[in-house]
Amino acid sequence: MSAIVLTASDRTRLRRSHPSLFNPGIFKRWGGLMLIAGALAYLIYGWAFFDIGRTLSDGKWERAGIYMADWISWEAQPRYRFQPDGSLQIEHQRFSPLGENPDTDWMTTLPDGREEVTFGSSANRVEIGTTDVVAVVDDVPYEIVFANENAVLPVNAPAAFSEKNGRVTVSFGFAGSAEIRSTQVLVRRRFFGWENFVFDTTSPFWGMSLPELWSTIASGPQIEPDQSNLTLAWHEFLTNSEWQHGDVLNKLLQTIVMAFVGTLFAATLAFPLAFIAARNVTNSRPMNWITKRFFDFTRSVDMLIWALVFTRGFGPGPLAGIAAIFVTDTGTFGKLYSEAIENIDDKQREGVRSVGASAADVNRFGVVPQIAPVVISQTLYFWEANIRGATIIGAVGAGGIGLKLLEAMRTNQDWENVAYMVLLILIVVFVFDNISNALRTRLIGKSQ
């Protein structure tokens, strides 16, 4: 196959006929490279503007492990105080998870009168005397003495030891730590799980194993004369002072109701307004414009801002949350519904109108069947999304579990309670997501 040879005149003619092919613009030639360079320049600018490097270097990364451990475990914090008379006094934190008279297997008194705290096994322990402390790490003892009212770091101490401001801290990993001072020894003993999750320390059922609890409820002597043991156990569970199950479940129900009622009211109002906003249904440009601008106004202000506004107006509580969801979703639904109406096939409307149907019947039989899948799908999607949104707006005073979650986070100690509420929210979102998908499948399938 012979090659085609173009003469100079042929090349000139082609260049004149197709100048865009032979002389592409700068954006066609270098557009991709310019986009990459622009993205890199933006990343560099963002890194410098937000001072990300210093933020990362100054971050308290060691706290991440502590917070994560607090989600899945709990701590007992006994304190051993050195008394002027040479004795030791053991104190427990207020509302100790160990109860009023703790009897643990990891806190013992040795034959010589010294107190011993074990961390997981006898190979890791702290022995507390009246004048010194011995920390045993991996079966190797290290004596900690006091000088000038300061705890002195042992010679050749391993990495588990640290000293700061006259205090020596011994870390035993997940099992906990001991902070030794000249006046006291503060023990942090960590255990996997959530402490007293079912019953608190004041409950008559506290400390019972599952077989003991079942036996007490089923055939044990009646604890309270005016109610059965089963009723009492349920009441003790809901009124657990440490976990407050009853209040948490009540707040979770408030969140679900907020999302449902707010979404329902928004869809109810937005649906008829969407017909006014649709230009192919309402032949009035001023009405179309006013309705669409109303939708723009309500949806352009974030739900969180509306929650703050209504909290000021109605006070803290679910009513403010319902109003915030209602106003925001009215604008969103109105825009989605009106655009769905404007994109319908007018032949179906014309067919209904040709048989002499009224305007209401034209919309009922000519428009609604076409937009029903979109309306149902979008409404159900926003309903399940609003369950998550109701948690956020609840944190600013709109009630629900969001406010309860914020209160637990503010203490910076009850992270296991935070994990509990987050897990409940995840379960609720998962359940309602599946309910929404099932309803969407059934209703849309019938409408089609």
- Residue at 16 is within a domain: no
- Residue at 254 is within a domain: yes
Q: What is the pLDDT along the chain (448 residues), one digit of tens a residue?
A: 556 666 777 667 767 776 766 666 677 777 788 889 999 999 998 888 888 888 888 777 777 777 788 888 888 899 999 888 878 888 888 778 888 777 788 888 888 888 899 998 888 999 998 878 899 999 899 988 888 888 888 888 888 899 888 899 999 988 889 999 988 999 999 988 888 888 888 888 888 888 888 998 888 888 888 888 889 999 999 998 888 899 999 999 988 989 999 999 999 999 999 888 888 878 888 888 999 899 989 888 888 888 888 888 887 788 888 999 999 999 999 999 988 888 877 777 778 777 777 777 777 777 778 888 888 888 888 888 888 888 888 877 777 888 888 888 877 667 888 888 889 988 988 888 888 888 877 776 654 4
Q: Are residues 79 and 52 in the same domain?
A: no
Cβ count near 389 (within 10 Å): 25
Structural domain that includes position 33:
22-59
The confidence score (pLDDT) of residue 447 equals 46
Q: Are residues 106 and 50 in the same domain?
A: no
Q: What is the DSSP letter of 398?
A: I
Q: Are residues 356 and 260 in the same domain?
A: yes
- Residue at 165 is within a domain: yes
Q: Are residues 257 and 401 in the same domain?
A: yes
Q: Are residues 302 and 439 in the same domain?
A: yes
Q: Are residues 249 and 350 in the same domain?
A: yes
Q: How far is CA 80 from CA 90, 93, 353, in A?
A: 5, 11, 88
The confidence score (pLDDT) of residue 348 equals 75
**Cα-based angle 431, 434, 438 (whole degrees, multiple of 5):** 140
Q: Are residues 270 and 313 in the same domain?
A: yes
Q: Is 284 helix (H, G, I), strand (E, B) or coil?
A: coil
Q: Are residues 32 and 83 in the same domain?
A: no
Cβ count near 91 (within 10 Å): 13
**Cα-based angle 241, 187, 145 (whole degrees, multiple of 5):** 160
- Residue at 410 is within a domain: yes
- Residue at 41 is within a domain: yes
Q: Are residues 91 and 31 in the same domain?
A: no
Instruction: Give the separation between CA 101 and CA 89, rounded to whole angstroms.
Output: 14
The confidence score (pLDDT) of residue 333 equals 92
Among residues 328, 331, 326, 264, the alpha carbon closest in space to that of 292 is found at 331
Beta bridge partners of 146: 151
Instruction: Give the separation between CA 7 and CA 264, rounded to whole angstroms.
Output: 74
Q: Are residues 307 and 162 in the same domain?
A: no
Q: How far is CA 397 from CA 158, 400, 402, 410, in A?
A: 49, 9, 8, 14
Single out the residue in 192, 207, 232 at which a domain terminates. 192
| Count of domains observed in the chain | 3
Q: Are residues 255 and 395 in the same domain?
A: yes
Instruction: Give the separation between CA 344 and CA 366, rounded to whole angstroms.
Output: 9
Q: Are residues 38 and 86 in the same domain?
A: no
- Residue at 65 is within a domain: no
